[in-house]
Structures are given as structure tokens and as C-alpha cells.
Structure 1
Amino acid sequence: MNAKHRELISLTLVLILLVLAAASSQRWYHRFDLTDDRRYTISTPTREAIEGVQDVVTVRYFVSSRLDQLSPIPGQIHDLLREYAAVGGGRIQVERLDPTASETAQRARQLGMLPQQIQVVEESQASVATVFSGIQLIYRDEQEIIPVIFEPEDVEYRVTTAIRRLTGGQQQTVGVLFGTDGLRLDSSHRTMQQVLSEGYRVRPLERGESIPPTVDFLFLVGGADLTDRDVLPLDRFLVEGGSMMAAIDGVEIDLDAQLDPQPLSDDHPVLSWLEHHGARIEPRLVLDSRHHSIPVQDVAGERVFHTSEPYPHWIELHHSTVNPNHPLTARFPGLDLFWASPLTLIPGLDREAIPLIHTSADSWLLSRNFATDPQNAQASRTIADERDGRYLVAGEISGVFRPYYEYPDPTEQPGRLLVIADGDFTSDLMGYTDSYYNADFLLNTADWLANEPELMAVRTRSQRDLRLDPGSDSAAIRMHAAWIQLVNIALLPIAVAAAGLLVHIRRRRRTDWRADS
């Protein structure tokens, strides 16, 4: 056999091996994800959801080519969708469509895709581009639409949730009850309605009505205008094993009356009911040195100035002050509270109380003069009633709850109550401070109350509190700052001078040695 025949046989064998490898890769494969947060690696809950697919799920990603040229985000989203197809082994088919063509754009709009306008600067010229970035999922005769998707971190949660709904996973219902006049999902709480609608049916509830059996868990926001008649159905829901988040203000702030503070009485129906079940919210305000600024308007003659004033009533809560062992706060995205009150948990015989979130060590309390006027807020520390720091503002109570009211045949079952001593954090105020991690926290809370640990794991895997944490000890901060100043002002110049002197001495010795030689 000559060399030419050997080369031909070798080439044929290599081609056969490549064909076999390509064929086997449809069944056996391995992909490497080198990103820090493994963003392109499908999580175990998602793999389990894909394994439950009995037919083919078609995933169509509508993305404008213009957006693809301007941002790497569409490529990241498409890579993750391709990972779904790779894991699905034929059960997930991914298509990418460009709505630039008029027919495709019309089709996208008919499906409910929402075009977004983004500002583009090219060659020193600013313009506005209208782009699409949405996903359609089709399974048999059903479909789910994700009208807008711009965050790669949200893709897995939203797509996996849609797949679960399409393939037979029953969508749970969250009941939302507002206990303060003037609050509505379609006006003051549009962000909360939007994020909850991503994974759940949202049902507004009326005060005083019995909680329908179709409601799986409950959000109670505000309580200033609740009566005993309104609280009784909430008590029965909790006693009979319900799960509930109660976001209640100890001091109600009237946004329409120049931030007029209205503390609730100690015997207010909602505060008395919560204390009976192990959560005491005090009608005081907790302020923190970690805080946001509030937009204010100054008028000087005929001129109006818009500025921002530091406002310690709007407190920032970081990962360093939360319970790291609780599933709700283990991967804490961050949380901002607006006019929060101190919370005390009271353990009971058949219930467990778990503290979840504290303020920083540099916090203080106001009991009478609440200093809500932004012009006077900075002086609030001087009139503080307490300066102990680290006040509890959120906690969980779980176990058997005893009825607060008398009603026939109560069926006591273990329930769960998450108490947050502020109702305003759920509102659209989060837009004033870019506190959209409040929305993440609300959806994490919904997953936790709904007993959906798989969805919660998918959602929180990429969540991190990326804000700079100033630390919990102001004295330690000052000590670190002093050390930094010492190093930069004194030690570094001394080290440079010493190094220069050492070099000079070595050169001088070398010169003397040569002269002697």
C-alpha cells in the first residue's frame, strides 16, 4: 500500500469519526460556560421543566436587527435560548425573527409585542430608534407572550415560567388588598401589578369580603383605613393555613398634604391584630444614615428650582444587614423602604419568629416630631428619641395562628406571615429612587409564599446587591479612611523617597568601586 492510499484511508476514517461525533452530539454533549455567574448554564429547575415537555415548544425571539447592531444584549438572550434547545434535545425549537420587515412587525404587534424607543447617538447625531425585543412561546394550541425582554438575567425565569404554564403547570393566584384609601393597582402600584402578573394571576380584593378559595396567597398593603370588620377575613385566612405578606405602616404619610405624618394609634385594628399574631409595629419612624435623596422644588420669585435633598427617611437596606440563612434573603437583591417603622417579633407557643432584615447600626428613631419635611430631615438626628441602631423592619412568623376574632368552627392549620413595617416600598415611589430591586423582592416574596422554591431558585440565581455597602460601623469606616489617608499622604511618599535613596547609595558605591579599581 503506497502513501497515497494510506492518506486516503486516514482521511476517510477522520470524516467517518466527525460524522459519528456530530450524530452522537444530539444525544451526548457537554457545553462549557466560562462566565462568572454561569449565565448561559440552564439551572436544574429549568431542566426539570424541559423534561416535562411532552411535545415540541417553539420559542420565537422577535428582535430588531437595529438593536442587534447597537447592543450585545440580543446576542446574550439568543445564546441562552439556544441553550434551551441544546438541553431540550428536540423538544425546544428556537427561531429568531427580525421585525424590520413590515409584515413581521405587524405580526409582532398583533401578538402583543411592545416596540420600545431607544436613543441612538452616531457620528455626533442623536436620533430615536424603534425596536422590538420580545418572545413568543407556542405549545400545541396554546401560546405565551413575553412582550418586552431587555434583561438577560430575567430570561430564564420568564421563559421557564411560561413553559411551565404551557405544559400544564397551574398558575397560582395572588390576592391583593389595599388597607389605605387611594391605593390602586392601576394607579399607585402599576409596577407591582406588572411584576406579579409575570408569574401569577393577580386578583384585587375588596375590604371586608371573604377571601375566595381560588386565592393561593395574599398581599396586604397598608392598613390605616381597615376596621375590625375588614381584618376579620384576613384573620380567618391566616388561621386556616394561608400565606400572607403584610406591608403595614406604623406612621401613614399623606403624599397629597406635604408629607403630613399620621401615626396609627396603638389600639388600631390592624396593629392589634398583628401584635396578637406575634408582630408589633410601633407608630414611630426609623431613620438611617444609609439613605436616598428626595426630589424637592424650591421657588425663588418667579423661578422654580428642582433639586435633591438627603432624606434619611428613605432608607437603603443592604445584604450585610439581612438574614443569610432564610430563602427569601439568602440572595438579597437589595431593598429600599420609605418611612419605615420599627418591628418587634413575639414568638408564641406554636409559632416561630424569624428576624429577616435590619437597618444599619447608624440608625435612629423619631416618636413625636417626625421631621418629614425634606428641609428639616437632616436635623432629625438631633431630636431622635433613640439612637440604638440596627432596628428590625422585616420578619417571618410561621406556625399555628390562634384566632383573634370569634367565629364559628375555625380550622387551625399552619400558616405563614411575612411582616414588613412599611407599605410604601410596594408603590411606584420605587421609580423616584431607581429602587427596582424592590420589584425583584416582591416577586421573590410571591414565589416564597406560593411554595415555588424551583422558580425562586431560577429567579435569584443571578441576583446580587451590586450597590456599594458603606459598612455597618461608622467608627470602622472612619478608621479605614484614616488608614487610607496615612498610606497615601505619608507612607507612600516615604517609601518612594527611601527607594530613591537606596538606588542613589548603590550607584554611589558602584562608582566608588570602579574608581578604586
Structure 2
Amino acid sequence: MLIQGLIEGSTMRKRKKESIAIIAALLVFTVLLFLSQVYYLRIDPDSENLSPLSEISRRSLENLPNNLRLEYYVSENLERRSYIPKQVESQLNELRRAFPSKIDIQLHRLPSGQAEPELEQLGITPTNLEIVEEGERSYVQVYSAIVLNYGGNRALLPEVYHPRMLEYQLNVKLRELTGEGKKSVGILLGHGSQRTRRSYSLLEQTLASRYDLVFLSPGDELPKFLDGLLIFGGERLEVEDLFLIDQYLMSGNRVFWGIEAVWIDTQQNLQAKEIGQRPAFDLLEHYGVGVRKALVLDESARNYRVPSQDFGSVRWEVLDTYPHWVRILRENSNEAHPVADGYQGLDLLWPSPLQIDPHRIDGTKELVSLFESSSEAWLMEERYFTNPYDAADLHVLGAESAGRYKLGLALRGRFESYFADQREELPNGLIEPTEDLRKSSEEAELIVVGDSDFATDTIQYSDSLYNLDFLLSVAEYLVGDEDLMRLRRRSVRAYPQLTGSSRDKINLVMARSRFLSLILVPSIILLYGFFRYRRRR
């Protein structure tokens, strides 16, 4: 009996120790969880070191000759119901800690439910915050805005609801305050009356927040003050327009051109028509890039969606995968070029394949393939079937032309003017007798994408709004704002990210996750229990 009592006492002590260990571990975990909400460290993914601020921000703030005052206006209602104000305030405090002698932070808490006429006079308007309490839905007006004051000038961030983007937004406004101002970007629409400015309203809205936009039509003079030029389409561009484009490129500038060889009329049941050999294609071929008269279709594609009204809101009905709307996969993008590195996603709508003429490049220019189709793409030539209701039957047509196709290219280096030996043949008045014709450029860059539809409002139907992020990156690259482009992409990047990955890769990750959660972890627990049981026996 004595021995049995000792054994039972030893067992009880062992169980007591195990219980204490479990409780202690839970307490430690709870404390760590609490501390993680109080203390945190921001990590800069673009650097190998841990840093609360990007190097771009540090350089900008270190070079400020005057003090910067940041005033954060936030409604108490928003503070009680959202994490956003706390994160914004934390980032502002990071700025002050890094540069205490240059940055002054002022926090203004606004009473709930009150209008602020002084703020509205500055251009700061409230946002409606939806509240659901006890099954009742209501709305309250809240403010979350930052006013930047520097050197007697003022700039506004009227809506601060995305803390991850705050550092980027502050850098943009700071450059405007320090005298750089907004840069100018030209958008030349080469479709003429077939596709007007209204077709690019989403693009205009995206770029107008950063740049002064100048929309141009065929026949318009190209302003000399442009910092960057985007061209969409080319069938309506004549020699006069191409001469201005050529001379702009010969000045050492960067140009983006989205152009296809097959026109899809979105107003006429998606009728397809080959554009024909227009002067714009001759100009591009002179530089070394050809646009093939064909459509690229791909297994990696977006769904075709049809909108319908549902109790006052828009509901999208998905028909089927539409191979004409090519989804660019991450593994088919060249991250060595800034434009193709780290974008959120990219879909091309009815793209044409690009071809390279090696004789035109001949070592004077560097050729960079930005992105291409998947290996399961094919071509549609001469006879074009674009009806989305018949999309499932189109795969049988691609056996003979299956393969990868280049859809985005960049040429940089020395360019020879298309008009170098044609001065006497140019239309009268296009160039003055005393004006020099620029025959070459030692350092210029031309980016060509075999599609212009991917920049139009049609992206609402393909659910490709992230194309706007890509186009903003293009504009930033053209005007030389590459540091801001990297900062913005760092702000919106999520890790790990599978967006734009192939279906095989996604399936592999899902299979590994299932194995880990459904097989490996339960097996370890069962084995542990089995060995514990054997030891007790």
C-alpha cells in the first residue's frame, strides 16, 4: 500500500507539473499576443535591414532646408471603430522620431457628428462610415485627413484611409511642396473618333491624381514640355503625327505605345477587323518591333462577365473563361525591368503578338522582353471568332500555333530617326528651314505592348482594375519617378502572393497546405499520444 501510494503521489505530481507547464505556456502566449498589439516593427521589403522608413523617405526628409508640419485631423467616431487612426498616428510618430528637429506633428481630434466648415473650406470633405449595431444600419460622417505645411505652402491628403499607402502619398505631396510640382504626361489617342477620351476615363482618373494630363488626338501638336508620352492605338496617325513622336523619342525621352493589329469594335458585337499596314506600323518596324496581324488566345485567361441591375446595384454574371482576355502570369514577366517588376496584376484584352527584327537592333539597342503569354497560348489569324458564348469551342483551333508569344517589349539605347533622310519629303510647315532635324538619340527608350484595350474602361468587364496600377507604374517610369514607383509597389505588395500565378502553382500550394493541415499535423499528434500511452503502460 505504501509503494502504491508513493506511485500515485508521483503520478499526481507529474500531472500537476504538466498542468502548470501548459498554463504557463498559455500565459506566455497571451502576454506575447498582447505585446504584439502594443509594440511592432515595420520591415522594409526592399532592404535587407529592418527599418521603420524607406530610404526614399529618409533622403527626401534629410534634404529639407525648412521644417515640415503635419496636421492630422481625425474624427473620434473613427478612432473608436477603426484601427486606421492608430496606424496613421504611429507612422507619423515614426517620422517625428527619425527627424525630430525637422518634423512637427499635430493631432486634431474632432467631435463626433459635427460638421467642420473650416476643413471643408480647405477641400477636406467627410466620408460616410457605415455602422451596424443591433441589426440596424446607419451612417456617420467622419474625417481622416492630413494637411502638410512647408515653407508657407500647403498641400492636402483629404482622405487618409489606407495606412500602407501613407508614406508614398506623403512623398508625392512633399515633392510638390518643395518646388518640383506636378509633371506633365501626354496621352495620344491614335484611334481617332473610333475611341475617344471617354473610353479612358478610369485611366484619366488614376493618372490625374499624380500628373498634369494632356490628351492629344491625331493632328495635334505635341507640347515640348511633356515629361512622358503614352500612345494608344495608331491606325489614325499620319506622317505628321509620327514625325512628332519620332522627334520626341530622338530627344532622349521615354515613350510607351500600346498598339494592336486587329481592331475589336466593342460597340458592334465584338466585330474584329484587321487594321492594315498603316504608317504607325512602319515606324515601329523601323525601330525593330513588328505587330503581327493576329490575336493571341491563352488558356491563362480572364472570365467574360456581363453586368445586370440587381435592386439598384450592378451584379456581374460570369459566362466562361474567355481566352481572348490574356492573363499575364508572374513567371512570364521579366522582373529585371522596373515596369514589369512587382505589379499587382495585368490582363491584356485581344492582344496582338509582337515580333523582333534583329537587324534593326544590331547591338545599338538593348532589347528587354517585359512579358509574354503562357506556353498554352495560340494564334487566331484571318478568321476571327470573338463571341464569348462560343469560347469553349475555340481551344481546338490552337493546336498548330500553340506556344509562347511576346506581348510586351522594351527597347533602349541608340535610336535612328525614321525621318533622318526624308527632310525634303516632309509636309510643308512640319519643320522650319532653320530648325534642326534630330537624326538619332544616344539614350532613349520605347516600350511597346501589343494591346490598347487593356487601358480602356473595358477592364471593368474583365475585372482587371489592377491594370491601372500597372499603367501608373508606366507613367512613373516614363517621367523618371522610379523611386516613387518602387515605394508605392512596396506599400501595396502582399506576401506571400499568388496573384497572377499559374494554376499548377496554386494547386501545388493548396496540396501542400492540405497535406500539412490534414495529414502531417494530425499524424504527429497521434504519434505523440501513442508513445505517451506506451510509456505510461
Question: Normalising by structure 2, what TM-score?
Answer: 0.76
CA contact (8 A) 1:345 1:355 kept: no
Q: What is residue 292 of structure 1 aligned with on the other side? A: 302
Q: CA deviation at 1:165?
A: 1.6
After the TM superposition, which of the residue ranges 342-351 and 320-329 deviates more from structure 2?
342-351
Q: What is residue 437 of structure 2 aligned with on the other side? A: 410
After the TM superposition, which of the residue ranges 152-161 and 451-460 deviates more from structure 2?
451-460
Rounded to whole Å, the distance in 2 between the matches of 1:150 and 1:55 is 28
Q: What is residue 146 of structure 2 aligned with on the other side? A: 135
Q: CA deviation at 1:183?
A: 4.0
Q: CA deviation at 1:37?
A: 5.0
Q: What is residue 7 of structure 1 aligned with on the other side? A: none
- In structure 2, what residue type is equivalent to 1:165? E
Rounded to whole Å, the distance in 1 between the matches of 2:384 and 2:143 is 47
CA contact (8 A) 1:218 1:244 kept: yes
Q: What is residue 366 of structure 2 aligned with on the other side? A: 352
- Residue 157 (structure 1) aligned to one of 152, 159, 168: 168
Aligned to 2:459, the other structure's residue is in SS state: helix
Distance 1:443 1:236, change over 3 A: same
CA displacement 1:91-141 (0-9 Å, x = unmatched)? 222233345568762223222224333433222222334333333212133
* RMSD of equivalent CA atoms: 3.6
- In structure 2, what residue type is equivalent to 1:468? L
Q: What is residue 437 of structure 1 aligned with on the other side? A: 466
Q: What is residue 234 of structure 1 aligned with on the other side? A: 245
Q: What is residue 514 of structure 1 aligned with on the other side? A: none
Q: What is residue 121 of structure 1 aligned with on the other side? A: 132
- Residue 453 (structure 2) aligned to one of 399, 403, 424: 424
CA displacement 1:179-211 (0-9 Å, x = unmatched)? 1135444x3223322332333222222323332
- Residue 284 (structure 2) aligned to one of 266, 269, 274: 274
Rounded to whole Å, the distance in 2 between the matches of 1:276 and 1:257 is 33
- Residue 367 (structure 1) aligned to one of 381, 396, 421: 381
Distance 1:218 1:65, change over 3 A: same
Q: What is residue 33 of structure 1 aligned with on the other side? A: 41
> Kindly, what percent of the aligned residue pairs are identical?
29
CA contact (8 A) 2:339 2:477 kept: yes
- In structure 2, what residue type is equivalent to 1:453? E
Aligned to 1:121, the other structure's residue is in SS state: strand
Q: What is residue 451 of structure 1 aligned with on the other side? A: 480
CA contact (8 A) 2:129 2:139 kept: yes
Q: Does 1:46 align with 2:46?
A: no
Rounded to whole Å, the distance in 1 between the matches of 2:183 and 2:308 is 47
Q: Does 1:333 align with 2:344?
A: yes
CA contact (8 A) 1:240 1:410 kept: no
- Residue 183 (structure 2) aligned to one of 172, 175, 183: 172
Distance 1:53 1:462, change over 3 A: same
Rounded to whole Å, the distance in 1 between the matches of 2:229 and 2:386 is 30
Q: What is residue 4 of structure 2 aligned with on the other side? A: none
Aligned to 1:378, the other structure's residue is in SS state: helix
Q: CA deviation at 1:445?
A: 1.4
Q: CA deviation at 1:485?
A: 13
Q: Does 1:461 align with 2:490?
A: yes
Structure 1 unaligned segments of length 5 or more: list them.
Answer: 1-30, 512-517
Distance 1:346 1:433, change over 3 A: same
Q: CA deviation at 1:291?
A: 2.1
Q: CA deviation at 1:164?
A: 1.6
- How many residue pairs match? The answer is 465
Rounded to whole Å, the distance in 1 between the matches of 2:384 and 2:129 is 42
CA contact (8 A) 2:334 2:369 kept: yes
Rounded to whole Å, the distance in 2 between the matches of 1:208 and 1:485 is 58
Structure 2 unaligned segments of length 5 or more: list them.
Answer: 1-38, 424-430
Q: What is residue 145 of structure 1 aligned with on the other side? A: 156
CA contact (8 A) 1:362 1:473 kept: no
Question: Normalising by structure 1, what TM-score?
Answer: 0.79
After the TM superposition, which of the residue ranges 116-125 and 212-221 deviates more from structure 2?
116-125
